Amino acid sequence: MSEVNGKNGGAKPVLWMVIPCYNEEKVLPLTAPIFLKKLQQLAGGGKISDSSRILFVNDGSGDSTWEIISSLAGQDPHYLGISQSRNRGHQNAVLAGLMEAMDRCDITISIDCDGQDSIDAMDEMVDAYWAGNEVVYGVRSKREKDSWFKRTTAESFYKLMNTLGAEVVYNHADYRLISAKVLKHFAEFGEVNIFLRGLIPLVGFRSTSVYYERTERLAGESHYPLRKMLALAFNGITSLSVKPISIITGLGMGVSALGLVIAVWAIAKAILGETVAGWASTLCVVCLLGGIQLISLGVIGLYVGKTYMEAKHRPRYIISERTWEPAERHWLEEKE
């Protein structure tokens, strides 16, 4: 895929930027030229190939987003567009773009189309790729421009995810570089509910982070209200972890232990004759049954959780290198 750069013998990777767009007619005309400028600057600096592309993914927009994308594609061959048959949400739009790009490029960078993520972080991402990383996460160092509400809910989102066993890179959204090599392995993850932030780290390979400051939208409004963010968090947790089920089992054990203590106390009270008839036996039954029921639910849940994980048919191993294969890795190619 990559062209050979006659000057230094190193291969210049073909980059595809993948940009999901949902009802973005206000912002797209402002940001599209910014993406193109960055692409040309990276190509001019010899970091990427001239045949790199900007791929817009229209996520079933109801406004003129697709017309804008089509007209951009007519204006400059670097712009390309695909359109989903209906709105499927941000994660699926990014996935569609990445899968479309996978066989046609060496590296992808996914970025939102609203100009919130600093475009200049792309230079560092490409440098990190040249240094041997296959995945580079864009991490927000500060979110001062976000409202207090957005910042607090977003930061709690990452904390909740990690507490419940879905390990995600803190303050990293979907601005990241992924090599085509990693994407080809990722394509083997056959699950339908995708949470890219949690799944890409599962593929493995060498990765690093670059830091940038998140700014305000250049135009238009956010399509990620609290409702969608909570849905994303729950989807992420339940896709990646069965920890909530273990919490139920633990709770059941705790309640059972407490039940036992209360039962002993109730029996003691009954023996001492300090109770009305039937009180102690009723209390014992309620406490013990409550505990047993919760433990049973947890145990059933563990099996259901296992079935769920098995049903995903994720690859059981991924091999990154073999000694008998020639090293394809671009970073081994010495620059003169």
Residues found near Mg ion in the complex (CB under 5 A): 112, 114, 116
* Among positions 38, 90, 140, 197, the unique one binding ligand UDP when judged by CB under 6 A: 90
Q: Could you tell me which of 53, 48, 79 has the C-alpha nearest to residue 66?
A: 79
Q: Among residue numbers 69 through 88, which ones bind ligand UDP (CB under 6 A)? A: 87
Q: Which residue has the tokens 């479309």?
A: 100
Least Å from the CB of residue 113 to Mg ion: 8
Element (H, E) at 175: strand 172-179
| 146 binds ligand UDP, rule: CB under 6 A | no
Least Å from the CB of residue 262 to ligand UDP: 48
Least Å from the CB of residue 74 to ligand UDP: 21
Edge-to-edge, what's the strand order for the sheet holding 207-213?
79-83, 53-58, 15-21, 107-110, 172-179, 135-142, 207-213
- DSSP SS3 for 321: coil
Q: Among residue numbers 53 through 72, which ones bind ligand UDP (CB under 6 A)? A: 59
Q: Point out which residues pair with 79 in neighbouring strands.
A: 54
Nearer to Mg ion, 47 or 176 (CB): 176
Paired tokens of 269: 């009270």
Q: Could you tell me which of 122, 120, 21, 26 has the C-alpha nearest to residue 79?
A: 21
What is the rounded CA–CA span in Å between residue 214 and residue 178?
20
Q: Could you tell me which of 62, 73, 91 has the C-alpha nearest to residue 32?
A: 73
Binding part of the chain for ligand UDP, among 110-118, 179-187, 231-239, 284-292 by CB under 6 A, reads: 110-118
* Among positions 114, 171, 239, 263, the unique one binding ligand UDP when judged by CB under 6 A: 114
Nearer to ligand UDP, 59 or 134 (CB): 59
* Among positions 15, 17, 18, 21, the unique one binding ligand UDP when judged by CB under 6 A: 21
Least Å from the CB of residue 209 to Mg ion: 19
Binding mask 213-252 for ligand UDP (x = CB under 6 A): ---------xxx----------------------------
Q: 315 Cβ partners below 8 Å, 6+ apart?
A: 185, 188, 189
* Among positions 83, 116, 118, 179, the unique one binding ligand UDP when judged by CB under 6 A: 116
Q: How many CA atoms does the CB half-sphere of 299 hold within 13 Å?
A: 7
Residues that bind ligand UDP in the complex, under the rule CB under 6 A: 20-22, 24, 59, 87, 89-90, 93, 112-114, 116, 222-224
